[in-house]
Amino acid sequence: MSRRELPRGNDGRGGRPPGKLPSARDVAARVIERVLKDSAFASAALDAELARAVELGSRDRALATELVYGSLRTRAALEARIARLAKKLDPKDYVLKSQLLLAGYQLLLLDRVPAHAVVDHAVEAIKRARGPRVAGFVNAVLRRLSSEGKLDAGDAALASLPAWLKTELDAALPEVEVRALVAPSTADGAGPLGIRVRVGVDDGDLPSWLREAPRGKWSSLARRPGSVGDPRRLQGYGDGVFVVQEEGAQVIALAVGAKPGMRVLDACAGRGQKTTLLADQLIADPSSELVACDLHGSKLKALKQELKRLKLPDIETHAVDFSLGTGDLMGGFDRVLVDAPCTGTGTLRRRPEIALRLTAEDPARMAELQASILRHAATLLGAEGRLVYAVCSVLPEECEGVIERVADLLEPVPFEAPDLPWLDAGCCSLRMLPGEHGTDGYFLACLRKRA
């Protein structure tokens, strides 16, 4: 069937008919469409769609989550199978692409959904969006697809990586870690929920679901409660008892070694998860000073709201582009955290859509940006100050390569992190990996200015 034989329906979308409650597949299809068409982040798009689908039960929410992340994680492998059966698809028909991907994932990688139900749902959705002719075409494609052999989830995820990225990962990591990096670590594919209990909160003061949750291995504050739904709806969230934060990210903040009475700068604070941990560590001494900066003022506003939720004192914030300079900040900080923007390759298991938007030029481009940020942030260190550099990337160019770029200005120095007693004495840098540590992939290093 040629492209001109694929007419578009009136609404242009494969949504549900008026008056019908959304299904898990409806939600998943809309999220996938937004990721493909608008380069939306899957997690944010999924949160938005689930918020709209208030009638959806917990099991269907989990299914929608699995369908989104599974389809995106194995996208290229699915597209290769589909392309053999549908050779002339319009690459910009995102409604059709999202429905075929979603159905393909269920047919080729899931066992619990009957094939006829998968095909019928996709056909009905396309009939509403594109009319009966295209629906008939989809019906034929999916029925042929359903008769083909299943895909292996791990192999399909690896095959869906861009060739350049697969080459880089193979050069940087053992095969077992590459597989762990792209494989889903939970049944719904979204990755484990990381919870940080507040510094100084006794177990007896925690809600039962959190008190009984398994403890993390690398952060004494970490809990791993498993699948508990939207954490914002859980007991204790409104009271500021806990923070949603992946365990590896907690390790980064703890590696700073902030102590009461210090002046501490979080140079790339984002929405402030690490900032609030630093605030908890400093709060015992009123003379402590914590400053948070980010390029985006909107993120700093979100940080302020998080401080209020946690009932922490307000802190000084500045919108600063550290790739260009330091704004009007005064130096002399005892600790500086640079959790730099990066390719995010260490989070592929939770954010598979990252692989869809990265290019082969991005690691070098990001490394140049990271080195520039480091150079400017380092000028704010005090005489005995230490800087912790961190990225959620596993690509050497953004990790050790950046440290080499700034070696004329900064030198490695051992972490001073009493809250990480498992760190080897004299350790100056650390890699955390999903296979070895059960966290996202991170690189962090402790540095000081050369004399």
Over the stretch 379-415, which tens digit does the pLDDT of each residue have?
Answer: 999 999 999 999 999 999 999 999 999 999 999 999 9
β-bridge partners, 381: 333
Tell me the DSSP string of 325-379: --TT----EEEEEEE-----GGGTTT-TTHHHH--TTHHHHHHHHHHHHHHHHHT
Total-model pTM: 0.90
Write the pLDDT tens digit of every residue in 158-186. 999 999 999 999 999 999 999 999 987 66
Q: What is the CATH number of domain 247-449?
A: 3.40.50.150
Q: Kindly state the average pLDDT of the residues 50-71.
A: 92
Which strands make up the sheet holding 222-223, listed edge to edge?
222-223, 195-197, 242-244
Q: Kindly state the average pLDDT of the residues 177-201.
A: 81
β-bridge partners, 94: none
Torsions phi, psi of 78, nearest 5? -65, -45
Distance CA 125, CA 451 (A): 66
Write the pLDDT tens digit of every residue in 354-373. 998 999 999 999 999 999 99
Domain boundaries, the chain: 3-153, 247-449
Q: What percent of the chain has pLDDT over 70?
A: 94
Distance CA 106, CA 115 (A): 8
Look up residue 406 and give its two tokens.
């700034």
Is the separation of the CB atoms in 411 and 450 below 8 Å?
A: yes
**332 pLDDT more than 60:** yes
Is the separation of the CB atoms in 250 and 280 below 8 Å?
A: no
Q: Kindly state the average pLDDT of the residues 195-206.
A: 91
Write the pLDDT tens digit of every residue in 119-155. 999 999 999 999 999 999 999 999 999 999 999 999 9
Question: Which of 194, 156, 190 is closest to 42 using CA atoms?
Answer: 190
Average pLDDT, the chain: 92
Question: Which of 398, 400, 414, 407 is closest to 378 using CA atoms?
Answer: 407
Catalytic positions, please? 392
Question: Which of 4, 249, 241 is closest to 134 using CA atoms?
Answer: 4
- Indicate the CATH number of 3-153 among 3.40.50.2300, 1.10.940.10, 1.10.3720.10, 2.40.50.100: 1.10.940.10
**7 pLDDT more than 50:** no
Q: Do domains 3-153 and 247-449 have the same CATH topology?
A: no
Tell me which of 228 and 314 has the higher pLDDT. 314
Write the pLDDT tens digit of every residue in 226-280. 777 778 888 999 999 999 999 999 999 999 999 999 999 999 999 999 999 999 9
